[in-house]
Amino acid sequence: MSTLTQSLKSGNWRALVACFLYFDTGFTVWVMLGPLAPFIGKDIAMTPAQTGFLVAVPVLGAAILRVTLGNLYQAFDGRKIALMGLALSAIPSVVLLLMPGTPSYTLLLVLGVLLGIGGASFAVALPMAGSNYPPKVQGLVLGLAAAGNIGAVLDGFMFPGLAEHYGWAHAAGAALPLLGLAALALVFWAKDQGVKSGSAPRAFTSFIISVFGLVALVLCVHAGAFGEGKAGVLLLPVLGALLAIAVLPRHYRGVLAERDTWVIMLVYSITFGGFVGMSSYVTTLLISLYGMPRIEAGLFMSLLAFLGALVRPIGGLVADKISGVRALVLLLAAISAIDLIFAAWMPPQGAGITLLVLVYVCFGLGNGATFQLVPQRWQGKTGLMSGIIGAAGGIGGFYLPVIMGIAKESTGSYQMGFATFGALAALAFVLVVALRTHWMSWALPKEVAGGAVLAGGVAHVE
C-alpha cells in the first residue's frame, strides 16, 4: 500500500482522478442504448435486425471517432478536448429528456453516433493521465485510468430501473449528472502535460468531418442507399473506416501494410469486440432466449461487464509470464469452442448463463493479453497502434449485435450468429498458431521491470 501511495504522489493524482471520471462516464453513455433497447422497443416498432443496428451504431461511432479524436489530442490541449467530448456526448440525453413525444428511430440513430464520442474518450483520457506522471509508474497510472471501462456496469444497474418507473427517454437523462461531475473534475483538476505536434486546426477539421460523415453514412444505410436489406449495414464499418483513414495524416496508414497489424486487429475485434458488442446486446438476448425480466437482464449485463473488466489486468499479467502469444492461443480456442457449443446446443438458461460467464472471462483475459504484445512488436508506435487496433475492436463490437439481430430475424434463432463468431475466433486461432514461432521472437520483453509491461495490457485501450 505504501508503494501505491508513493507512486500516486509522484505525479498529479487529481489529474488522474479527473481522467478516470471522464473515461468512466464516457463508457457509461456509450453503451446505454443496450439496456434501454427492450424499453425502446415497446414504443418504437423495430425488427430484431433494427434493434441490433440501433445498439451497434454507438459502438461503431466510438471505433471510428477514437482515431480522429486521438489525432486531435496529439495537436491540442487534452483538457479542452475532453470537455468538448463530454458536451457532445451529453446531447443525446438532453434531447431525449426535453423532447415531447416519442423520438423517431432515425433520430435515435443520429444520437447513437454522438454517444460513440463517449466511447472514444479513451483516446484522450489515457494519454492525458499518463502525461502527469513519470515513466516509471506509467503501468500503474494508465491501468487505473483504463479501469474507467467499469462505467459499463452502471448501465445495467441504473437505466432499466429508471426506465421502468419514468420511461426510457427520461432515464437517459440520468447520465447528465455523471457527465457534469466529470466536467467539474476536468475543469478544476485535469492538466495535460503531453508534448503536442501537428496542426490543431487540421486535426479538429478531421474530427468534425468524421462525425458528420459518420452520421451521413448511418442515415444512408438506414435509407437503403448502399443496398436494400442487410448489405448496407454490413458495409457500414468498411465505409466508416475508409472515412477515418482518408482524413488522417499519412503516417497513420503505413502500418496497415503489415501482416501482423491485420492479425492483431482480427484478434482484438473478437476479444474487445465481443466484450462491448455482447454488453450492448446481451440484455436483448436474455429476454428473447429465456424470457428474463428486463430489469434482471440489465443487472446481469452489469455483472458480466464487471467480470470482463475485472479480469482484464489479469490477462495482461498472465501474458507477462507466458507471453501474449501463448495466452491468446488458449483463449481464442476457448472463445471459439464456447460460441460453437452455444450454436449447436442453444442451451437452457442455467447452462446458457454459465457459457456467457465463461466467454466474458475469456474476452477480458484476451483484451489484456493482446495489448501485452503491442509495445513489443510496435516499439515507438504504441499510441498509433492503440488507435488502429482499438478501432478494429469497436468494429467487431458493431458487427456482433448486427449479426445476432440478422440471424434472429432471418432464421428465428441465434444459432447462425454464434456459429459465425465461433468460426471467426477459430480463424484467429489458426492464424496466431501459424505465426506463433515468428511472434515469439519479439513477444516477451528482454527485461521485465515491475509493471512496465502490464501497461501494454491495460494502458492503451479501454
Instruction: Walk me through the domains of the chain, giving residue ranges and CATH numbers.
Output: 9-248 (1.20.1250.20), 254-442 (1.20.1250.20)
Least confident of 27-31, 47-51, 191-195, 372-376: 372-376
Rounded CA-CA distance 83/70 in Å is 14
pLDDT of residue 139: 54
Backbone angles phi, psi at 397, to 5 degrees: -65, -30
pLDDT the model gives residue 8: 74
| Residue type at position 438 | H
pLDDT in the model for residue 108:
97
What's the rounded Cα separation, in Å, for the pair 318 and 326? 10
What does the pLDDT read at residue 186?
97
Q: How confident is the model at residue 447 (pLDDT cuts 50, 70, 90)?
A: very low
pLDDT of residue 70: 83
Query: Average of pLDDT values for 150-163?
Result: 87
Please report which helix (H) or strand (E) contains residue 27, including its range: helix 13-30
Considering the entire predicted model, what is its pTM? 0.82
Q: CA separation (Å) from 343 to 175, 420, 425?
A: 36, 9, 14
Amino acid at 388: I
* pLDDT reading at 375 higher than 80: no
DSSP 189-238: H--------S-HHHHHHHHHHHHHHHHHHHHHHHTTTT-TTTHHHHHHHH
185 Cβ partners below 8 Å, 6+ apart? 17, 18, 21, 22
Res 382 pLDDT > 70 = no
Rounded to an integer, the average pLDDT of 367-385 is: 74
Under the banding of pLDDT at 50, 70 and 90, the label for residue 262 is: very high
The pLDDT-based confidence of 260 (bands split at 50, 70, 90) is: very high
Q: Give me the percent of the chain exceeding a pLDDT of 90.
A: 60
431's CB contacts (< 8 A; 6+ apart) are 263, 266
Q: What sign results for the dihedral spanned by CA atoms 353, 356, 360, 361? A: positive
Residue 335 has pLDDT above 70, yes or no: yes
pLDDT of 130 reads 82
- More confident position, 435 or 142: 435
253, 278, 128, 386: CA torsion to nearest 10? -30
Mean pLDDT of 325-335: 96
Q: What is the mean pLDDT of residues 31-35?
A: 91
Q: What would the mean pLDDT of 189-213 be, rounded to a whole number?
A: 91
- pLDDT of 169: 94
Cα distance between residue 375 and residue 451, in whole Å: 13
pLDDT given at position 221: 92
Main-chain phi, psi angles of 378, to 5 degrees: -120, 60
Q: For the chain, give the mean pLDDT.
A: 88
